[in-house]
Chain A
Amino acid sequence: MSKKHDKSKGLTRRDVLKISAASAVAASTPMFFVKDAWAQKAIGNFPVNGPTVTYGFNVPLTSIYADEGEDELRAYKLAVKHLNNGGGMVETLQPNALKRNGVLGKKVEYVVGDTQTNPDAARTSARRMIERDKVIMFSGGSSSAIAIAQQYLAQELGVIFMCGLTHSNDTTGKDKRRYGFRHFFNAYMTGKALAPILSKEYGKDRRAFHLTADYTWGHTQYQSMKDFTEKEGWTTVDNIMTPVKTTDFSQFLTPILNSDADVLILNHYGKNMNNSLTNAVEFGFKEMQKNGKNMEIVVPLYSRLMAKGAGQKNIEGVLGTTAWNWTQKDDDPGSKAFVETFEKEYGFPPSQAAQTCYVQTIIYSDAVERAGTFYPPAVIKALEGHEFAGTGPGKTLYRAEDHQCFKDMLVVKGKSPSQLKGKYDLLEIVSKVKREDTVYPVDTFPGELGPYEPA
């Protein structure tokens, strides 16, 4: 008893020698033995156990961007189908590590959330996916305020967020995050691509009045359009910020009637644009003359869904930009594979929102296969600086420094009735803008990506 008691009092000389020897052995072990142990560190929902892996698709199924959200969801479901069984862009992506049997041999499953086009609701929905459904990656659009909110959550919880449709400069600018990636183009690129064409079509001596959706996307869209049109010699008469949930824009159009502006720029998206354009046409802006010139309406960010929602007659002749259009199926094998499989599945062509969400899911999965692990820092490194083709026209680069994709984009115009070749053929391609023409220095916008491992 006393002997045992004596032992517990402290270390013997023999114990000290044993510990020293063990420490020396541990310290001299080569680092490659430890590397795997570091890679297995639990981050977010890594490691993934079991025969399946779950993705989370958080899209707006209600409120002003619901039509985009529904199309995004269709694309996500199709991407999962192709990842598990082959087909679509899984066959055209170059380089391509996908095996057509899920991802890393695990069958891909998914859960769906409704962002309600509201950042708080989106965060709650995303958190539920991450904490309850254990998603390894989540994705969705269609509002930049929501994308940014989810990027911050992604960084905090260590789960990669592949942005759906988000066009604000802030997403990969001041609010960029290591765990967020954007395939879609942005407001800066829109301004850079669109302003020279506006100047060519409507002349250099123009006076523009802006109506702008009052949130991050609208603010950066307005600033980019203002900067680039002023470089072309235009004057900005005024700008009115409009609440996002406005359905009747008449009170905002009234001051424009009384101004000397001869161009109306609608920095609106989705149903906002549907209604502001409808109201502007009702107010006679398309037939009006100001300063001896025809009044013009511009919608900087366009989509086929918006064109349909606004009505063919209203969009006729209205210029804007879009990331991709389904009619490009004749331009490259990736677009062709996507459009054909989407049409076969749903009976109508996909929107640009659907295309970006589909590509994001495929590209993330490819990065996992290339990294050989779902470990988020390794997947992030596989995505950063990765250049690929087969997902649309030309090559696409995921810039490492800000996680912004650079690829070709389009300047489009609403078609006239005589040009229509079907009910989905609403947009005429005015210019195919090359990737190199919209690239900008990474320090154009401030912001830090943050660490690979969440604090």
Chain B
Amino acid sequence: MTFEDWFRTDRLPHIYCAGCGNGTIINCTLAAIDQMSWKKEETVFISGIGCSSRAPGYIVTDSLHTTHGRALAFATGVKMANPALNVVIFTGDGDLAAIGGNHFIHACRRNIDLTVVCMNNQIYGMTGGQGSPTTPKGCLSTTTPYGCSEPPFDLCELAIAAGANYVARWTSYHVKELEKAVRAGLETPGFSFIEAMTQCPTNFGRRNKFKQVADQVDYLKTHGVLRAKRERMIEQGEKIPEDLFVIGELMRRNRPAMGVKP
């Protein structure tokens, strides 16, 4: 089996815009899953609402496309009722961090054996480009027409503080690293959170001076710094630019987990 066997080919063409990074992240996730030798009938994909959340509709397994922000609460029911199922959640920054924020921290706290892949494009793409809780300060969106004035959430810090067993952040540029991180998340008992920073050329890029898709991917490549490098910069007294973000594996631990496969 290859990762391509996990796709529902009768659902093509997909809804994603040209240049969207979501397809890259879905590919990385399925490539990681394919290495797990999981059976399709034992695997369930769950999502909420938004561009990212359409992903389960393109995957052949049982899939539950739920209400906005609630994917983790639905997943809690599925996984606790049948721990033999492998449960993977696709979500986005608006779905997970805004309307689903409370479900997110409680799923981390319970440390339920779920793997969450968050496609963070820093915008509400599906509804036409409104600001989200991860829209960086100063960035333009249809609801932050004078530049975003609120500080953004660091979703990985949130997941770590709330108790997740595995936390990593990569980008749609770092495909090999992202695939490995998803695999590590799938292998870790308990709650795994993988944040994938990604480009939204249609609704974020074009309003924020990324004229080409590649410009935004290049931005993700050059502004993501490994934690070790960031710490080195601090040690050396370098000023950390505000737009740098940490990438890499940020937490791996073994807190007691719920809903682990018997």
* B is bound to A: no
